[in-house]
């Protein structure tokens, strides 16, 4: 048997299941201990270093750490790791003086395409090392899909503003309202490196009979959420059907409820357990009186009487 290699940091990380399951390997036990001592700012800073957006993630993370939590083996539910991150964010004091300072420039220029979490994280790590970072986004404000797709009742703008400002204040140049259409053109501007963090902003189409005829009454999930987020859409019909069983579908049905949908239903091809949406997202939809119908396959859109 091969001896265990304890010189590799992964060995110790794996001992803490929740920390290992977190894609950012956030030191979960450490910050929860600090919260227990009432040291919210310290707990926040531990999170900030590892996952960059603790206030945002404390509201929206898909929390792969929680199914890994060992308390889940002996209690009915795991420790509420995600929500505790929000506790640290909401109860902390002013932490601005604890953030890195903009440092002397090293002469290297980096262009970052997209103003969402990927580019902002790269900029956060490079700016304190002296790199001049310029972030481009087609939207006027930073945040990317965090701002445009996650409904405001789950993630208010103030939380996004606060945590993206921590990063912008490191001396990062933000060019809002500037969509990058040509990498060739950007390359000709003599950046030393270009980071593409544009995400995957395209929803799923459902091409079944009647799609074109009823197009005016059919919306693609992420586009519709963005339209609500930017204030272009502020109402919806009385009866709404949401097709799909992922987290976007859960955001759509709950948003439709808030925009006047009285009879909102979710239709899903798979069974309830197999749905892609996280269990707590499904629970929230059900609590808002939105029924979920499983094992139903859409075969056509029909549109009658207006």
* Residues within the interface to ligand SF4 (CB under 6 A): 22, 24, 26, 28, 51, 57, 61, 63-65, 81-82, 85
- Dihedral sign computed on CA atoms, order 30, 34, 36, 40: negative
CB of 66 to ligand SF4, least distance (A): 7
Cα gap 193→178, rounded to integer Å: 18
- Cα-based distances in Å from 197 to 171, 226, 297: 19, 18, 35
Q: What is the Cβ-side half-sphere exposure of residue 132, based on CA atoms within 13 angstroms?
A: 9
Burial of 221 (0-12, 13-18, 19+ CB in 10 A): buried
Cα gap 94→102, rounded to integer Å: 18
Give whichever of 81 and 126 is closer to ligand SF4, judged by the CB atom.
Answer: 81
CB of 266 to ligand SF4, least distance (A): 25
CB of 4 to ligand SF4, least distance (A): 25
CB of 68 to ligand SF4, least distance (A): 9
Chain residue whose CB lies nearest ligand SF4: 22
Extract the tokens encoding 92. Answer: 């902390």
Extract the tokens encoding 25. Answer: 């390997």
Give whichever of 59 and 257 is closer to ligand SF4, judged by the CB atom.
Answer: 59
Give whichever of 81 and 290 is closer to ligand SF4, judged by the CB atom.
Answer: 81
CB of 21 to ligand SF4, least distance (A): 7
Where b means 16+ CB within 10 Å and e means fewer, 171-192 reads bbebeeebebeeeeebeeeebe
Q: Where are the beta strands (DSSP E) in the chain?
A: 109-113, 132-137, 173-176, 193-196, 239-243, 263-267, 292-293
CB of 28 to ligand SF4, least distance (A): 5
Give whichever of 64 and 210 is closer to ligand SF4, judged by the CB atom.
Answer: 64
Bridge partner residues of 136 (DSSP): 113, 175
Residue with tokens 């991150």: 85
- As a residue count, the chain comes to 306
CB of 24 to ligand SF4, least distance (A): 5
Number of Cβ atoms within 10 Å of the Cβ of 280: 14
Dihedral angle computed from the Cα positions of residues 89, 94, 100 and 105, in that order, rounded to the nearest 10 degrees: 120
Give whichever of 28 and 267 is closer to ligand SF4, judged by the CB atom.
Answer: 28
Give whichever of 191 and 280 is closer to ligand SF4, judged by the CB atom.
Answer: 280
Give whichever of 55 and 114 is closer to ligand SF4, judged by the CB atom.
Answer: 55
CB of 67 to ligand SF4, least distance (A): 10
Give whichever of 30 and 223 is closer to ligand SF4, judged by the CB atom.
Answer: 30
Q: What is the Cβ-side half-sphere exposure of residue 66, based on CA atoms within 13 angstroms?
A: 18
């Amino acid at each position: 048997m091969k001896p265990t290699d304890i010189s590799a940091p992964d060995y110790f990380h794996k001992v803490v299941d929740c920390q290992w399951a977190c894609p950012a390997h956030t030191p979960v036990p450490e910050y929860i201990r600090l919260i227990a001592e009432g040291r919210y700012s310290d707990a926040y800073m531990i999170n900030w270093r590892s996952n960059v957006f603790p206030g945002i993630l404390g509201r929206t993370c898909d929390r792969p750490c929680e199914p890994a939590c060992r308390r889940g083996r002996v209690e009915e539910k795991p420790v509420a790791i995600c929500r505790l991150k929000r506790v640290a964010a909401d109860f902390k004091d002013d932490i601005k003086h604890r953030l890195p300072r903009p440092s002397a420039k090293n002469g290297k220029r980096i262009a970052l395409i997209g103003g969402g979490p990927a580019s902002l994280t790269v900029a956060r790590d490079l700016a304190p090392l002296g790199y001049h970072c310029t972030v481009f986004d087609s939207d006027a404000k930073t945040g990317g899909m965090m701002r445009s797709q996650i409904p405001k009742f789950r993630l208010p703008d103030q939380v996004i503003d606060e945590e993206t400002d921590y990063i912008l204040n490191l001396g990062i140049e933000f060019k809002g309202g500037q969509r990058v259409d040509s990498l060739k053109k950007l390359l000709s501007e003599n950046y030393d490196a270009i980071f593409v963090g544009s995400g995957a902003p395209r929803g799923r189409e459902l091409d079944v009979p009647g799609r074109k005829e009823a197009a005016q009454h059919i919306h693609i999930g992420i586009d519709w959420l963005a339209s609500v987020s930017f204030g272009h859409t502020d109402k919806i019909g009385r009866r709404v059907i949401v097709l799909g069983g992922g987290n976007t579908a859960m955001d759509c049905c709950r948003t439709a409820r808030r925009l006047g949908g009285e009879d909102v239903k979710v239709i899903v091809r798979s069974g309830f357990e197999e749905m892609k949406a996280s269990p707590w997202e499904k629970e929230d939809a059900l609590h808002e009186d939105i029924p979920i119908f499983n094992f139903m396959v859409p075969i056509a859109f029909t549109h009658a009487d207006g």
